[in-house]
Amino acid sequence: MKTVEKSLVTELYNHQNIYQNLSVAQLVEKILNRNEGMLTSTGAVCASTGKYTGRSPGDKFIVNDEVSKDIIDWGKVNQPIAEEVFDHLHRKVIDYLNEKDEIFQFKGFAGADERYRLPIQVINEYAWHNLFARQLFINPKEDELKNHQAEFTVISAPDFKADPSIDGTNSEAFILISFKKRVVLIGGTEYAGEIKKSIFSIMNYLLPERDVLSMHCSANVGAEGDVALFFGLSGTGKTTLSADPYRRLIGDDEHGWSPNGVFNIEGGCYAKGINLSEEKEPQIFNAIRYGSVLENVVLDAKTRIADYDDISLTENTRAAYPLENIDNIVIPSVAGHPNTIIFLTADASGTLPPISRLTKEQAMYHFLSGYTSKLAGTERGVTEPQATFSACFGSPFLPLAPSKYAEMLGEKIDMFDSNVFLVNTGWTGGSYGYGTRMKLSYTRAMVHSALEGELNSVETTKDDVFGLEIPMHVPGVPDEVLIPKNTWLDKAAYQEAAQSLALKFQKNFEKFTLASNDIKQAGPLYKG
pLDDT tens across 31-62, in order?
Answer: 999 999 999 999 999 999 999 999 999 999 99
pLDDT the model gives residue 167: 96
Confidence of residue 88 (pLDDT cuts 50, 70, 90): very high
pLDDT the model gives residue 26: 98
Q: Is residue 206 included in any domain, yes or no? A: yes
Integer Cα distance of 130 and 303 in angstroms: 26
pLDDT tens for 238-268 read 888 988 889 999 999 999 999 999 999 999 9
pLDDT of residue 377 exceeding 60, the answer is no
Confidence of residue 376 (pLDDT cuts 50, 70, 90): low
pLDDT of residue 381 exceeding 70, the answer is no
Confidence of residue 375 (pLDDT cuts 50, 70, 90): low
* CA angle, 314 then 321 then 59, to 5°: 50
Together in a domain, 317 and 351 = no
The mean pLDDT value of the chain amounts to 94
pLDDT of residue 356 exceeding 80, the answer is yes
> In this structure, what CATH number is given to the domain that contains residue 484?
3.90.228.20
Integer Cα distance of 216 and 52 in angstroms: 23
Confidence of residue 6 (pLDDT cuts 50, 70, 90): low
pLDDT tens for 158-193 read 999 999 999 999 999 999 999 999 999 999 999 999
Together in a domain, 294 and 373 = no
pLDDT the model gives residue 82: 97
Q: Is residue 151 included in any domain, yes or no? A: yes
Together in a domain, 516 and 460 = yes
Together in a domain, 384 and 357 = yes
Integer Cα distance of 162 and 174 in angstroms: 7
Q: Is residue 93 included in any domain, yes or no? A: yes
Terminal-to-terminal C-alpha distance of the chain: 51
> In this structure, what CATH number is given to the domain that contains residue 80?
3.40.449.10
Mean pLDDT of 207-232: 96
pLDDT of residue 7 exceeding 80, the answer is no
pLDDT of residue 379 exceeding 80, the answer is no
| This prediction's pTM | 0.92
Share of the chain above pLDDT 70, in %: 97
pLDDT the model gives residue 14: 81
The residue that leads in pLDDT, 349 or 385, is 349
Q: Is residue 226 included in any domain, yes or no? A: no
Domain tally, the chain: 3
Q: Is residue 264 included in any domain, yes or no? A: no
Mean pLDDT of 345-361: 95
Residue 446: phi and psi, rounded to 5, are -65, -45
Together in a domain, 304 and 390 = no
The DSSP code sequence of 505-521 is: HHHHHTT-TTS-HHHHT
Mean pLDDT of 495-520: 94
Give the range among 79-83, 195-199, 510-514 with minimum mean pLDDT: 510-514
Together in a domain, 284 and 355 = no
Q: Is residue 425 included in any domain, yes or no? A: yes
Residue 445's domain comprises: 337-520
Residue 268 CA: distances (Å) to CA of 10, 198, 203: 28, 15, 16
The three-state secondary structure class of 268 is strand
Together in a domain, 194 and 286 = no
377: how many CB neighbours lie within 10 A of its CB? 22
User: Parallel, antiparallel, or unpaired: how do β-strands 174-178 and 183-187 relate?
Assistant: antiparallel
Together in a domain, 418 and 483 = yes
> In this structure, what CATH number is given to the domain that contains residue 311?
2.170.8.10
Annotated active-site positions, please? Answer: 55, 197, 216, 234, 238-239, 253, 318
Together in a domain, 379 and 508 = yes
Q: Is residue 52 included in any domain, yes or no? A: no
Together in a domain, 392 and 317 = no
Together in a domain, 179 and 318 = no
pLDDT the model gives residue 3: 65
Mean pLDDT of 345-352: 95
Residue among 104, 109, 176 nearest 136 (CA):
109
Q: Is residue 243 included in any domain, yes or no? A: no
Mean pLDDT of 447-472: 95
pLDDT the model gives residue 9: 79
